[in-house]
Structure formats: C-alpha cells, structure tokens
Structure 1
C-alpha cells in the first residue's frame, strides 16, 4: 500500500507541474479530494487502476515530457487528514504559504529508497501551529498514569446480547493507529507510520484529533534529531490540548525531550549527588527499559542484550554467594529464578536471529520479561553509583560524606546502651548496615526480621516463666519489705517484656516482610533522620532489655533474702557460690566485649575513605 501511495502521489504532483490537458488536471484534483474524504484504506482498491489509465493516456499525448521531470517532487501533508495522505502543490518557488498545521515533505520518486528527507513548516495561524512549550511537559515512564488513571466501568450498564451468526468481533480500526494489548491486559495505541504510542482511548474522535495534532507538533519540532529508531510517547493531560511526552532512542537505550527536565528527581530515584553524564545515562537507561516494559510491542533491540542480561545475572549470583556485603538486591532463590528466565530468553533469541547484528522485535510477553529484569539491574547500578569515582562496593557503605561521622551514634544511644544491656548497639549496627542512604538491603532485612520474630517469641515465653516465678516468690513465708519491693520491680519488667514482645511480633507483620517494596516503604515512614534510626534500634531492644532487668531484679531479691540470714556457715557457702556463679555468668558478656544480645549481626569491615568527590 505504501509503494502504491508513493507512486500515486508522485505522478499526481507530476501532472500538476506539466502542461497536461485540463481533463487530466481535473481527474487528479478529484482523486486528491477523494483520498482526503475517504482516507487511505477505502480508496486503496481503485487507485492502482486509475494510476495505470492516467499514465497510459499521458504517455500518448506527451511522450517527450514523460522522462523530463526532476527526480523529486514536493507535497504537503495537512494535519487535518491522515499523516500519510499527501496533497500535491505547484512549484515551491511560486507556491503560496502553506496553510496552518501543514508539513512540507520531499519524497523521492524511487519507492525503494523513498523517505522523508526534509521537513519544514509554514503557518498562517500562530495559535494552531506555533510551538507552545506550555502545552508540552516532559514525562518519565515511571510517572505514566496507566496504573493510576484507570477508566472505570459502570456497573449499571446493561449486558449486550450476542448477535446471531456473528463471527467477527474485532473493534472498528482507528484510522492510522493500531490497537495493541499489553500482556497484562492494558490497551494502548501505536502509529506505525510516525512511531507514536499513547494510552489515550483513540476510539474517541475528540481524543484522536488532539493526539494527532500534538504528535504532529512534537515531531515537527524534533525533525532535526529524530530518525527511524526514534519513538514518541504521548499522555494527554486533563486539559486535552496539552500533553506529557518523551522520545525514545532505541539504538542508544535512552530517552530525550525537547525541553529541560527541571525536576528529574523521579528519574534519579531520589538519589542525591547525580551529576556526571555517565550516571545520568544509567538513570535514563533504567527509564528506557521501563518504557519497553510499558510498550513491549514494536521495540527493536539488539539480540546480544539477552546474553548481556545472562552475564549480569551470573555475576550477581556468584557475588551474593561469596560476599556478605554484596550490593545485589536479591537473594539466591530469586537470582536462580531470574537466571532460568534469562537462559530461556537467550535460547529463543538465538533461534530467532542467525545474525547478531540485526535488531529484532521480541514477542510482547518475552519483551516484558527482558525489559523488567534489565530495568531492575539498571536501577541497582543507579543507586550504587555504578562506574563513578565514589561507587558503593559494599552494601553497608555510604557514598555521602555526611554519613561517615554517624557510625557510633549519639550520646542518647550510648546512654540507652548502658541501661538496656548493650542491645541497642547491636540493633543500631544492623539498621545502619541495612538502611544505607535510604536504600534497603532486603535480603539482610528479611533474614533479620525473621530472626527477631523468633527471638521475641522466645522472650515472651521466658517473660511468662519469670512472671510465674515472681508471683510464687511473693507467696513465700518471711518475705521482708525490701525483697517484696524488688520482686515488684521484677514483675513489672516481666510483664513489660511480655507485652512489648507480643506488640512487636504482631506489628512486624506489616513491616513489609512480604516484599522489598513494602519493607522499603516501612523504613521510609519510620526513618527520616539519624535520631529515628536510634529510636528504632532502642525499640527493637526493649523486649530483651526488660527480660534481663526482670531477671536482675529477681536475683537481687533472692540475694537480699539469702544474705539476710545470720548463720555464718550459710553466708560463707552461699557467698562463695554466688561469686563463682556471677563470674561465670558475666564471662560471656566479657568475651563479647559487654555486648549482650540474644542474636548476632555478622558483618564485614568496609574500606576506608580516600577522598571526597
């Protein structure tokens, strides 16, 4: 169809620029009006016959001029009709100004090599064709409203009956646009001629007209920098004469805009200090793969990308296996599943393309898989300053200078560490190594939270036992007032330990242990400053600290009760045993440098800072 159309338009323009009889010029004019009225598809069937008749007639009346025409002929395309429908004009040197919303295109007479070689614009109405930056806002794929701006279906609409003998249930095609269904089920539209995507419902004539006009203006403005590998994505704003947009450059794996992106914090994933071009390129590549995930059809990629993904996963798998502080954001089981997916992708692409130099278009389902995995690891590179002078090589390292002075905590934490038997120090160390620069190391977080839940369950059992022992001690005969007071304190600590353990165990279910995104959201809500990290560490330490205080008070009450005796032999024997038991009890605490916790937090010492960048 495209070849026929180019040939027809070329010869119609040829007839207008010659001294053909009036009847030929009239037929050509009627043909043009017919194409404008019906569009390309309905008029296609009779165009080839009309062309052959016109050529035969003209060769009979003007054989000398049939080969005297120049190699190129000029046409104009009005934005009010389909972008592919071109209307001929007279010699450009004598033509009148092009009407508003028109595009001047130079088309080669050779169909096999025909392409748009020059683009220019003429306008009589500044309100319709002049570039207005206020109507166009740069957009990032991450901010697309596909999942938030859904169209809701009315529940009170009557069910449509199925007509008898109906076999064709396809929707009415939108002129120039193809309806594409995403593997997840979302409907979007694609213009293969102009390489334009949109989520707008173009079955509405109002939206179709608005999208065509906005796409025309953007492509006209970007005519000097776009090529065949450039795609455009449009998202209508609430005010339908304006839109959000971005251009996609597939051969470079990046996005670009015609205006400055003044607020790129969403593209940078809220990472501070993104300055170098190489770092920005990684952020744009992550957004590029997000685009391929949103619009998987008609996304040309190089076949070696599947192999590249496999290499990335192999390295991530081995790094997580051999390092305690790996920056890989996934655990072994997840990495193993990803590796299986990449193996299937490599096998499929290898069968699809015998040559690794040609771009391919994967099926939409496979493209979604490839794009999502590539996006996840591109995002990890962005967060860890991949390829930068201050790259994060260990998950427990901060890339910012201000964080290095907060390794030991404030005076409040050190004071709480004394009264809570050293538990806050261990919890603070865990949180500091897991929540670094507002980035959560989810594998470590998941393991530690599960371990904490087990510890809190054990503490609840021990607290129940201590509570029973304290109550029984109060029932013993001859308990003096001093012993009773200390037992009361022990009972209070046991009850507090039991209650706090239950509360933390219940609340931990909402701490995002089911997904990395939920865990990161919880930490972002809980931690805003360094003081919040310390407060969370102290809170995690309360069940264990209350239990230790309850035991300490019980032992103190027992000591008062025993040493209150006046029997010398009893005092000597019990005193010696008491000293020995106390020494052996404190031995593990001394061995662990007085850090007494029911859990351990393994870590590896990171490197030293050489300089600040």
Structure 2
C-alpha cells in the first residue's frame, strides 16, 4: 500500500501509518483521512506541518490539483470513448481480453485507457502524471512498488481535461485514494471491500500472474457453493448449479496457467472473486447476524399489513395474501436472486394462462345460458330476469379476468430472463402489497361466483318442489365439501388468515376466568348446563375455549438446526 514518512512530533524516530482498507469497516475504507476514530490516521506523524495544513487538514490531491477527482472503478469509461490511431511513445499498449485497448507506464506502474496516440491527450496525461508524482513526493507519501495508479481522463464534455483516479493494492486486495471519498458515490452493492478490487483487476491483469493460492481459494469457494445450492432450497448463493459447474471447470482449466501471465484467465478469475466478495458482504459473513438463508431478514423490517390489503384481501378471497408472501420471500432486505425471481415469474405466467383458459370456458357457459330460449325471453319493456343479470355480471368478470391475465402475461413474459439488478429496481419502485393485489385480480374475478348465482336462479326460480329439493341437497353437500377443502388448506398452510386473527382477537377480549370456568364445566359434566338453557351457552363458550387452546401449527416442533 502506501505510508506517510516523517518524524514524530516529540523528536522520536520516524513512524509509519499503513493503510489497510481490508482491516477496516466499509465506513472507513473509502479514504484514510476519514474523521472516524477507527480510520487510519494517514498523516498523523507529519514532520513540521505548516499552519495552512493544520487549519485545512491533511493534504488532498484533488484540493491541490483540481484536474483530479476520486472516482469509483465502476465509472471507468472504457466503453464510451471514440478511438483514433496515432503514434505512441513512452507507454506500452495492451489489449484487454474483452478487446479494449489500454496503456501501461511500466516505470511508474500507471494504467489508463485514454487515447494516448492522440498528441493532445498524451500531453494531458503526462502533465497529470507529473502532478501526481509531485504531490506524492512533496507530502512524503510512500507507495508500495506493487501499488498501481489507474487514470480515467475525461476527453469530452464539461469535465474535459479532468481525470478520475484510484489506486490498487494487490497485496491487500483493496482500492484506495489520496482524498476523502464519499460512500454515496459507490453506485451499488458491488462496491465492497475486496469486491472493488476484484472488479477492477481485469484492466491491469496483464501485469499479474496466476497463483496457486488464488486457484485453490476459488476451487474451495465454488465447491462449497455448488454443494450448498444442491442441498439447500434456501441457499444464499446467487448462481445456479450449471453456472457453478461452468465456473469450476474454468478454474480447473486456469490451474494450468499458474505462474504465467494469462490475461484471459486472470480476467475470468477476477470476476469469480468479485462475485465471492459481493456474496460475503451482502450476507454479513463473519458477523454475529450472518444471513444463513435467503429468506432470513437481517434488518428490522415490519411484516405488518396496510389498511388497503387488509380491506381488499377478504373481498378478493385472500388471494393477495398468497402473492404477498411469495413476493416477500424473494425480496428480503431488498436483495433479489435472479434464479428465484425467474422461477416466480414463470410460475405466475403459468397461473395466469390457466386462469385465462378457465375464464374463457366460463364465458362460453354464460353465453350458452343466455342462448336458452326460456331464459332470454326478450321482454319488450327492457327488464331482465335475475338469471340474465347474473350471467351478464359473470360475463363481465370473465372478460376482465381474460384481459388482466393477458396483460400480466405479456408484461411479465419479457421479464423471464431479466437480471437481479433489473428485478430489484422494478420491485423497489412498486409496493409489494400493490403488486400482490394486482397479481391476484385474474383469480379473484374468476371466483366472484356470479355464474353460480345465475345457475341458482335458473334451478330454484319457478321450478317444482322435487327439483328444488334434489338440486338443493346436492348444492348443500358440494358447498360443505368446498368449505372443508378451504378450511383444510388454511389449516395446513401454517399461515394465519385474516378471519382467524379477527376471531382470536374476539376471544382474547373475553375474560380468561370465564373461559376457564366454562372449560371446567365441560370437562366435569356440570349438571347445571342443562338448567335454564345454559347447556347451549356452555356449548358456545366451549367452542371459544377450544379455539383459544388450539395450537396454530406444528412447524416449531419440526424445525431442526
């Protein structure tokens, strides 16, 4: 890395303060002059500091040279520059494995992708290099020989002539600057300790050899990740099994290049290390609250429901609750895994396509009912029978379900292969509850039972007693079976529904002594329960007591660690 030269303030021997960004938290790695007490005091032992330095703080490269500014490696604009071929001196040209051209000043260990074959650009870069060298020497800063300086020259626009920079320390796998650097300038989660280093290693990979330690570290990491994905449905690994197998094969192939300059292999291995660093950071590896499963929330997030979904969920047959749980399961701590969200999108598309088919069948059934001559009597006064009105409502809901289903399928089919950042941006712009309500509309419209009302009017209006009894008995049995199925689904889901929560609140409002007293009467067969109609009251209170004492779920007994 680098260190500050200078004698102690008390006349003692020279001391060194070494910047090691990997040894400090993210809050203090951006710049060695961060005012936090945990930050390395880069200029602590300055020899005979001037009055101006005392007043303005430690020397800053950008302050003394306005043509410089500290940048994140992500903003390095190698893909956005027009290229012109011209004569080149002093610098060595290299070709990046992806095809980009960049230059290396071997004696000063400086990299840039500026168009140095343009004389004006070469002159500008040379002046900036001289300014940087003067700043380092004037302030007694020692840079380790392995430290690399990367320059990003603005060749157009309002900032033309200014140069972004960052320094790379290969020994500690870190990025640092000679200025204060705001964490807000880091664009996303990728900018983490170690992650930045591995992100920017490819432009300078021609100067680095592949080591056996790097290959062994990557092989061990990928082997564990492959096993984790294969055995755990809640793995925090972002890559799929096929992707991990491909990475492992690439690492095995790169092992043959150990000890050699292999820019292509080094570029690929650096990407793998970047993925590893990002994974460790977002899941708090090595911390007391490390995330062990992708559905485990680290931050304190409320799982409460808004009034909107609380009111609409019962009217939509609790369908939004199902979709809300699904969305919250894939969007924990604002982290999205592309593999899992693509599975959810595929599942939703299949679900909506099925609802479109069911709604089409129901639409045909309603049209067939209206085509019955006895139903559509064509009244001259414009009045319609209850059968017709119910069929009209059912047709409208079926058409609504079809249109909504088609729109949702069309909108989400294009998202089937989107990346995790794109999915995260989409979900961060929309409320999960609103999305849950929207995704449940095709199902809810299909379940409005308007066609059942039309059928009931057709069967029970102006029909014989025998017809009513037979159809009524069958309808009662079928209704009981449907209620039983719904009850079983709610009980076995392990999730508390809105009506059960309301019922338990009602039970909780009853004095506990009264419930216990009623339970004792029920257990011992108190003879007074048959006197003055108290038996019915006892049975009613016994129902409350039964629900009060019932366990919600067996999940806790099945949980293993």
TM-score by length of 1: 0.65
Instruction: Check conservation: 1:267, 1:283, Cα contact below 8 A.
Output: no
- SS of match in other structure, 1:488: helix
Question: How far does residue 526 in structure 1 lie from its aligned partner after superposition?
Answer: 4.7
Q: State the partner residue of 1:250.
A: 170
Q: CA distance change for structure 1 residues 594 and 505 in 2, over 3 Å: closer, same or farther? A: farther
Question: How far does residue 586 in structure 1 lie from its aligned partner after superposition?
Answer: 2.7
Q: State the partner residue of 1:525.
A: 426
Instruction: Check conservation: 2:335, 2:424, Cα contact below 8 A.
Output: no
Q: CA distance change for structure 1 residues 491 and 243 in 2, over 3 Å: closer, same or farther? A: same
Instruction: Check conservation: 2:65, 2:131, Cα contact below 8 A.
Output: no
Distance of 1:196 and 1:189 partners within structure 2: 8
Give deviations 1:15-54, integer Å, cap 9, x for gaps: xxxxxxxxxxxxxxxxxxxxxxxxxxxxxxxxxxxxxxxx
Instruction: Check conservation: 1:385, 1:392, Cα contact below 8 A.
Output: yes
Distance of 1:152 and 1:211 partners within structure 2: 16
Give deviations 1:441-490, integer Å, cap 9, x for gaps: 22111111111111211111111111110011111233361111111111
Question: How far does residue 241 in structure 1 lie from its aligned partner after superposition?
Answer: 4.4
Distance of 1:210 and 1:493 partners within structure 2: 69
Q: CA distance change for structure 1 residues 411 and 172 in 2, over 3 Å: closer, same or farther? A: closer
Give deviations 1:361-389, integer Å, cap 9, x for gaps: 54111111101111122112222222233
Question: How far does residue 264 in structure 1 lie from its aligned partner after superposition?
Answer: 4.1
Distance of 1:399 and 1:253 partners within structure 2: 27
Counterpart of 2:77 (choices 134, 145, 149) is 145
Distance of 2:62 and 2:471 partners within structure 1: 98
Counterpart of 2:275 (choices 357, 376, 387) is 376
Q: State the partner residue of 2:4.
A: none
- SS of match in other structure, 2:206: coil
Counterpart of 2:391 (choices 478, 487, 498) is 487
Give deviations 1:147-199, integer Å, cap 9, x for gaps: 2x23178xxxxxxxxxxxxxxxxx87632211111111111111111110001
Q: State the partner residue of 1:515.
A: 418
Instruction: Check conservation: 2:72, 2:185, Cα contact below 8 A.
Output: no
- SS of match in other structure, 2:409: helix
Instruction: Check conservation: 1:326, 1:394, Cα contact below 8 A.
Output: yes
Give deviations 1:563-611, integer Å, cap 9, x for gaps: 2245222222211111111122233211111899xxxxxxxx99xxxxx
**Structure 1 unaligned regions, length at least 5:** 1-128, 154-170, 271-281, 354-360, 597-604, 607-613
- SS of match in other structure, 1:134: coil
Counterpart of 1:329 (choices 224, 230, 238) is 238
Map residues 40-189 of structure 1 onto 2, 5 A cutoff. 132-147=64-79, 149-151=80-82, 174-189=88-103
Instruction: Check conservation: 1:268, 1:382, Cα contact below 8 A.
Output: no
- SS of match in other structure, 2:88: coil
Distance of 2:391 and 2:491 partners within structure 1: 26
Map residues 260-339 of structure 1 onto 2, 5 A cutoff. 260-266=180-186, 269=189, 283-300=192-209, 302-339=211-248
Question: How far does residue 301 in structure 1 lie from its aligned partner after superposition?
Answer: 5.5
Question: How far does residue 214 in structure 1 lie from its aligned partner after superposition?
Answer: 1.4
Question: How far does residue 500 in structure 1 lie from its aligned partner after superposition?
Answer: 1.0
Question: How far does residue 320 in structure 1 lie from its aligned partner after superposition?
Answer: 1.3
Q: State the partner residue of 1:45.
A: none
Q: CA distance change for structure 1 residues 194 and 366 in 2, over 3 Å: closer, same or farther? A: same
Instruction: Check conservation: 1:177, 1:191, Cα contact below 8 A.
Output: yes
Q: CA distance change for structure 1 residues 301 and 226 in 2, over 3 Å: closer, same or farther? A: farther
1:232 to 2:149 alignment: yes
- SS of match in other structure, 2:458: helix
Distance of 1:390 and 1:204 partners within structure 2: 53
- SS of match in other structure, 1:189: strand
Q: CA distance change for structure 1 residues 498 and 241 in 2, over 3 Å: closer, same or farther? A: closer
Distance of 2:463 and 2:291 partners within structure 1: 66
Give deviations 1:123-142, integer Å, cap 9, x for gaps: xxxxxx99714322111211
Q: State the partner residue of 2:450.
A: 553
- SS of match in other structure, 2:66: helix
Map residues 444-463 of structure 1 onto 2, 5 A cutoff. 444-463=340-359
Give deviations 1:473-530, integer Å, cap 9, x for gaps: 111233361111111111011101111111111111332x22324xx3244135336x
Question: How far does residue 226 in structure 1 lie from its aligned partner after superposition?
Answer: 0.8
Give deviations 1:506-565, integer Å, cap 9, x for gaps: 111332x22324xx3244135336xx111111111111111222xx11112111221224
Distance of 2:351 and 2:134 partners within structure 1: 65
Q: State the partner residue of 1:11.
A: none
Instruction: Check conservation: 2:86, 2:118, Cα contact below 8 A.
Output: no
Instruction: Check conservation: 1:267, 1:284, Cα contact below 8 A.
Output: no
Counterpart of 1:428 (choices 324, 327, 332) is 324
Question: How far does residue 339 in structure 1 lie from its aligned partner after superposition?
Answer: 1.7
Distance of 1:306 and 1:261 partners within structure 2: 32
1:393 to 2:288 alignment: no
Instruction: Check conservation: 1:248, 1:254, Cα contact below 8 A.
Output: yes
Q: CA distance change for structure 1 residues 240 and 194 in 2, over 3 Å: closer, same or farther? A: farther
Distance of 2:223 and 2:188 partners within structure 1: 26
Distance of 1:225 and 1:209 partners within structure 2: 26
- SS of match in other structure, 1:197: strand
Give deviations 1:398-422, integer Å, cap 9, x for gaps: 2222x1x2x2422211222211122
Question: How far does residue 268 in structure 1 lie from its aligned partner after superposition?
Answer: 5.3
Counterpart of 2:127 (choices 184, 190, 213) is 213
Q: State the partner residue of 2:488.
A: 591
Distance of 1:398 and 1:266 partners within structure 2: 23
Q: State the partner residue of 2:115.
A: 201
- SS of match in other structure, 2:111: strand
Counterpart of 1:578 (choices 439, 451, 475) is 475
**Structure 2 unaligned regions, length at least 5:** 1-60, 376-383, 494-554, 557-561
